[in-house]
Amino acid sequence: MSGLPVAVLTIVAGRHDHLRGQLHGLAAQTSPPALHVVAAMGDPLVRSVLDEVPAARGTRRVVVDVALAADGEGAGELPLARARNAAAAAAAEHGCELLVLLDVDCVPSPDLVATYARAAGSAQVRSAPGPSLLCGPVAYLPPHVRVTGPADLAALPGAAPPHAARPAPDAGRVVLAGEDQWWLFWSLSFAVTARDWERFGGFCEEYRGYGGEDTDVAATVRHLGGSLFWVGGADAHHQHHPVSSPPVQHLAAIVRNGATFRRRWGWWPMTGWLERFRADGLVDYDAATDTWSLAARAEEPDEARPSSSCS
């Protein structure tokens, strides 16, 4: 597998400084990808950002434009699932056989692409039944650690530990996830063969905006008898940006996407956030119908609601 063409897929809407950081990381790969597909979600400036940072020799860049919905439910929200699928389709058109999906906030360690390729080609993964998802560790960088050029990459190792909620095996180890770990899957950094992507169908495009689409992929692959692997050494460094806790700016999308997941799989994801929203009076729960819905207070203008804290 390490000799087969690899595509890195990134979806973007703003976050241009973070995109530049990722581009520097990809240019420094010990085994550069054959293709970097950037799906620009309503962002016409992406091409000019790509022009600022030269790609590694042997890496071709392709931009896929993904329009935002102009009207209807979810209008203006980022089509995350659709953009990832569009990027994967472009990679398939170019004959890439391993897809590495990397969030725009993530700067890859120099061996990320090579490590994912070795893991995908290992006997352990190739012999696994059903489609396989490969997940590397992600470390959240503190605000003062920034990547503005190639020289900054040297400061990333050790700048922050891997996220404590997910396994981080030693470099070189590929560990099969336990049954209780399926819902730890996330799309910040993962790899999948193009064949397995076709087998599970990519991301469900019924999800619009933020929330639920990652867990849906995990549920789908699990339902198909597939496997989730933790890949040591495929390290990514998540660049800092302010976040809300709970993510009140995604309130409507979380409730809507949660209902989509409930209809597809029979249970609600993101219940931690939903409970926080209920405590703030923003959502209601009907136990008789197992239904979460926006509360009347959530329909107030933004300035009428208390702001959530950022961390």
Q: Which residue has the higher pLDDT, 189 or 300?
A: 189
Q: What is the DSSP letter of 307?
A: P
Averaged pLDDT for residues 165-171: 94
pLDDT at site 308:
31
47-63 average pLDDT score: 97
The rounded distance, in Å, linking the Cα atoms of 115 and 303 is 47
Mean pLDDT of 163-182: 95
pLDDT at 69: 78
For residue 100, give Cα distances in angstroms to 4, 120, 144, 272: 13, 11, 27, 29
The pairing of strands 227-231 and 174-176 is antiparallel
Alpha helix (H) ranges present in 178-250?
194-200, 213-223
**Region of poorest pLDDT, from 69-78, 237-246, 252-261:** 69-78
Whether 189 contacts 234, CB under 8 Å: yes
- Write the pLDDT tens digit of every residue in 104-115: 999 999 999 999
- Report, as an integer, the average pLDDT of 174-183: 97
What is the pLDDT, as a whole number, of residue 71? Answer: 66
Q: Do 46 and 61 contact (CB within 8 A), yes or no?
A: no
* pLDDT for 4: 72
Q: For the chain, what's the residue count?
A: 311
The enclosing H or E element of 208 equals none
State the chain's mean pLDDT as an integer: 92
Whether the per-residue pLDDT at 215 is higher than 50: the answer is yes
pLDDT band at 311 (very low <50, low <70, confident <90, very high): very low
Instruction: Kindly provide the residue ranges of all beta strands, DSSP E only, lying in 67-225, ordered along the sequence.
Output: 98-102, 106-108, 132-135, 138-140, 174-176, 189-193
Tens-digit pLDDT profile for residues 192-212: 999 999 999 999 999 999 899
pLDDT (0 to 100) of residue 72 = 63
Nearest to 212 by CA among 262, 165, 173, 169: 262
Burial (CB count <10 Å: 0-12, 13-18, 19+), residue 305: middle
* Predicted local distance difference test score (pLDDT) of residue 242: 84
Please write the tens of the pLDDT for every residue from 5-30.
Answer: 999 999 999 999 999 999 999 999 99
Which residue segments constitute the domains of the chain, with CATH numbers given? 6-238 (3.90.550.10), 248-304 (no CATH)
In angstroms, the CA 5 to CA 1 distance is 8
122-161 pLDDT tens trace:
999 999 999 999 999 999 999 999 999 999 999 999 999 9
Residue 289 backbone dihedrals phi, psi, to 5 degrees: -110, 0
Task: Give me Rg for the CA atoms of the chain.
Answer: 19
Q: What is the pTM of this model?
A: 0.92
pLDDT score, position 304: 40
Confidence of residue 299 (pLDDT cuts 50, 70, 90): low
pLDDT at 95 over 60: yes
| Tokens, residue 153 | 């990459």
Backbone torsion region of residue 249, taken as left when φ is above 0, otherwise alpha when ψ lies between -120 and 50, otherwise beta:
alpha
